[in-house]
Structure 1
Amino acid sequence: MKFSVNYPTPMHGADPDALVTFARHVEACGFEGLYVPDHVALYPGARIGGTEVPTTLPFPDPLEILTFVAAHTDRLLLGTGVLLLPYRHPILLAKRLATLDLLSKGRLRLLTVGVGGLPGEAAALGVGYATRGRRADEALDVLRLLWSGGPDGVEFHGEFFDFTEVCVYPKPSTAEFPIHIGGSSPAAARRAGRRGNGYFTGGILTPDERARQLALARSEAAAAGRDPARLEYTRWGSTDLTPGDIAALTAEGVDRLVVNASPNPLDAQLDELSAFAELIRAV
């Protein structure tokens, strides 16, 4: 089992001192990586996880945050939980992701993308809410195509993106750049199996629902001619998990937990992460 930490962006926003302190502490504790959440735009009445959220919650750009983290850490892997893919043009995103991966010396290994769950956010960005899944599928294909393309360029003709003889450099640090798929729907599970290197489930699901969706992701991978055993399975967690909880999640096939610290002041969050790091070292 691998353990990463989610940065509490809504609490600390783009405070550079808090971000550096938090990231360096996560690295010093021995955690695998740091994840950053994403929302482009909020609006009155927006609900995340069934709870209405203040429109003033700060959600800095996650790739800018991760670039800053990369400059102040040495080994910490970088992740998103989750980057809202339909709201970003894949040609621009291909360049941004490759640049961050190179600047971090290949540490952008936990990139997770999703389709978003706020209709008003999609509307504000001119994206059809009902078509955002298909747009995300195309965007994933475009990213892979651009990174694999040579100096003569590549072409793509889809429902949402259409271009010929396009070259995007630089390329990521490795030929197979990992992209994990986040979401709590069967569509997300299918997307993970067909196009992802991992499946990061969210939402409020029963154990049976989670088991069915993991099985669906793996069956879709097999149907697409991919090795289902290589599909990493990531779940959310918290710092109050017990060794028994961790053993149970391991038995469910979970490869990685991304833990959230309690909504306490920064010093208390750091102490909480230190205590959890000691616990998992003893497991």
Structure 2
Amino acid sequence: MRFAISYSPPFHGVDPEIVVGYARHAEQCGFEAIYLPEHIVLYPGAALGQVPIPPTLDYPDPLDTLAFVAAATSRILLGTGVLLLPYHHPVVLAKRLATIDVLSRGRMRLLTVGLGTLPREASATGVDFATRGRRADEAIDVLRLLWGGGEEGVSFHGEFFDFEDLTCYPKPYGVTHLPIHIGGSSRAAARRAGRRGDGWFPGGLLSPDERRAQLDLAHATAVEAGRDPAALEHTRWASIEVTAERVEALAAEGVTRIVVGASAEDPAEQRAQMDAFAERFQLAV
């Protein structure tokens, strides 16, 4: 089992010293990675399910923030939980992600993408909310095509993206393409993970039966696509107070990575929570 930690600027702040201190302490504790969320815009009345989102919450760009974190750390991997893929042009995104990966010496390795659930966030970026799933599928294909292409260039002719003989450098650090994990709590997300993902990162609001059904669906879709279902990483959220017994149960369900987040508001208390977690699971050993 691998353990990562999330940093949520809406609740922990965007102060650069706090962000860097959080990331450095997580690295010292032995956490594998740090994850950041994304919302490009908010608006009065926006909600995640039945939970309203205050429109004044701070949501800095996760990739810019991860690049900032990378410059202040040396080992911790960089992740998104989740990047709203349909709202990014994949040609631009391929360059940004590869640049962060090269400058961090291969640490932009836990990119998790999702579709987003706020219709006005889609319309604000010029995206038809109803087609964002198909757009995301194409974007994944474009990212991998550009990363894997050589000096002769690559071409793509799809529903949303169209180009001829393009090259994209720099390439990701030492790999053909960056891993792309699929986030989401729907069966469509599970199918996308099986068909195109290197990992699956479902949300937390699923019943045990639905969670098992979606994992089975991801694996079955991988087999149908000629892919190895055993190669699909399985990431889950958990409380920073999670017990060893709960972690064992998650491992039995096929979970390979757990992401927690410090729940305290005070930075000193956050560090204490990280210390206790690291000691409980011997992360630094």
- Provide TM-score, normalisation by structure 1: 0.97
Q: Which deviates more from structure 2 when the two are superposed, residues 48-57 or residues 179-188?
A: 48-57
Give 1:262's aligned residue: 263
Contact 2:147 2:177 in 1 (8 A): no
In the alignment, the residues of structure 2 paired with residue 48 and residue 26 of structure 1 have an alpha-carbon distance, to the nearest angstrom, of: 28
Give 2:218's aligned residue: 217
Give 2:237's aligned residue: 236
Give 2:172's aligned residue: 172
Check 1:122–1:183 CA distance in 2 against 1; reply closer, same or farther (3 A cut): same
In the alignment, the residues of structure 2 paired with residue 268 and residue 232 of structure 1 have an alpha-carbon distance, to the nearest angstrom, of: 31
User: What is the DSSP-based 3-state SS (H/G/I as helix, E as strand, rest coil) of the residue aligned with 2:168?
Assistant: coil
In the alignment, the residues of structure 1 paired with residue 64 and residue 9 of structure 2 have an alpha-carbon distance, to the nearest angstrom, of: 13
Instruction: Provide structure 1 residue ranges, at least 5 long, that are not aligned to the other structure.
Output: none
Contact 1:4 1:256 in 2 (8 A): yes
User: What is the DSSP-based 3-state SS (H/G/I as helix, E as strand, rest coil) of the residue aligned with 2:139?
Assistant: helix
User: What is the DSSP-based 3-state SS (H/G/I as helix, E as strand, rest coil) of the residue aligned with 1:235?
Assistant: strand
Give 2:143's aligned residue: 143
Give the aligned CA root-mean-square deviation in angstroms.
Answer: 1.3
Instruction: Provide structure 2 residue ranges, at least 5 long, that are not aligned to the other structure.
Output: none
Q: State whether structure 2 residue 125 is matched by structure 1 residue 125.
A: yes
**Aligned residues with identical type, % of pairs:** 61
Question: Residue 6 of structure 1 aligns to which amino acid in structure 2?
Answer: S
Question: Residue 161 of structure 2 aligns to which amino acid in structure 1?
Answer: F
Contact 1:13 1:60 in 2 (8 A): no
Q: Which deviates more from structure 2 when the two are superposed, residues 83-92 or residues 195-204?
A: 195-204
Question: Residue 233 of structure 1 aligns to which amino acid in structure 2?
Answer: H
Contact 1:182 1:200 in 2 (8 A): yes
Give 2:42's aligned residue: 42
Give 1:79's aligned residue: 79
Shift of residue 203 of structure 1?
Answer: 4.2
Give 1:55's aligned residue: 55
User: What is the DSSP-based 3-state SS (H/G/I as helix, E as strand, rest coil) of the residue aligned with 2:194?
Assistant: helix
In the alignment, the residues of structure 2 paired with residue 8 and residue 203 of structure 1 have an alpha-carbon distance, to the nearest angstrom, of: 16
In the alignment, the residues of structure 2 paired with residue 245 and residue 50 of structure 1 have an alpha-carbon distance, to the nearest angstrom, of: 27
Shift of residue 11 of structure 1?
Answer: 2.2
Contact 2:11 2:265 in 1 (8 A): no
Shift of residue 35 of structure 1?
Answer: 0.3
- Provide TM-score, normalisation by structure 2: 0.97
